[in-house]
């Protein structure tokens, strides 16, 4: 049977438990899944591309058929470059539908052979978005259970310079020991 590679494009700023839930579901139905982080010059992200890539690589290392990449330009062109036949996107609520439908149909217009596959994350993540996670974390709220522990830690380091300093001192001391 023909192998199907899918791309899962997005901003992942930062990756959430909802993204990971979708990656796990996608990894079960596609032969290969490429988590593709968009290099978007129009957005000023909280995490750099390298930081997001590292977090996602760390979080998906146990999936043998998942890899992480960075892309720019059109999603359809990137899909062609990596030989993908499908685009995976998550739909959380009805409110996502209009935007996702528009994107899927535009992608179909640009590349009729490329299919968009929508999957629903687990219901406990149905209200979760990177934007809300950033906002809650920036305002000092807890994002526990919403993002993986390493993302929670990176958010703390990023938003609280004192934590970052402590971390740097510890690793310096560790290197000296």
Catalytically annotated residues: 19, 43, 92, 130
Cα 76 to chain centroid distance, Å, stands at 18
- Any idea of the CA torsion for 40, 55, 142, 173, to the nearest 10 degrees? -120
Mark the segment that binds ligand PNS (CB under 6 A) among 7-15, 27-35, 47-55, 137-145: 7-15
Write the interaction track for ligand PNS spanning residues 29-58; mark x where CB under 6 A is met and - where it is not: ---------x--------------------
Instruction: Tell which one of 11, 65, 116, 153 touches ligand PNS (CB under 6 A).
Output: 11
Q: Give me the least distance between CB of 76 and ligand PNS, in Å please.
A: 6
Instruction: Extract the tokens encoding 12.
Output: 């992942």
Mark the segment that binds ligand PNS (CB under 6 A) among 8-16, 26-34, 47-55, 142-150: 8-16
Instruction: Extract the tokens encoding 140.
Output: 């000092």
Beta strands in 97-168 (DSSP E): 115-119
Residues 68-107 that bind ligand PNS (CB under 6 A): 74-75, 103, 106-107
CA nearest to 56, candidates 38, 41, 43: 38
Q: Determine the Cα–Cα distance for residues 167 and 162; give it in Å rounded to an integer.
A: 9
Using CB under 6 A, list all residues that contact ligand PNS: 9-11, 38, 74-75, 103, 106-107
């Amino acid at each position: 049977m023909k192998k199907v590679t899918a791309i899962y494009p997005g901003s992942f700023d930062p990756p959430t438990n909802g993204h990971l839930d979708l990656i796990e579901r996608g990894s079960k139905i596609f032969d290969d899944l490429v988590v593709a982080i968009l290099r978007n010059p129009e957005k000023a992200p909280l995490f750099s591309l390298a930081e997001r890539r590292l977090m996602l690589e760390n979080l998906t290392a146990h999936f043998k058929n998942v890899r992480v990449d960075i892309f720019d330009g059109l999603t359809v062109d990137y899909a062609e470059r990596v030989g993908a036949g499908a685009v995976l996107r998550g739909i959380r609520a009805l409110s996502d539908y209009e935007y996702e439908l528009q994107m899927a149909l535009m992608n179909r217009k640009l590349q009729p052979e490329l299919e968009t596959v929508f999957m629903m994350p687990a219901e406990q993540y149905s209200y979760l978005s990177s934007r809300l996670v950033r906002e809650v974390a920036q305002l000092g709220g807890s994002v526990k259970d919403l993002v993986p522990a390493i993302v929670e830690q990176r958010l703390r380091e990023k938003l609280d310079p004192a934590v970052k300093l402590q971390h740097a001192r510890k690793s310096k001391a560790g290197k000296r020991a």
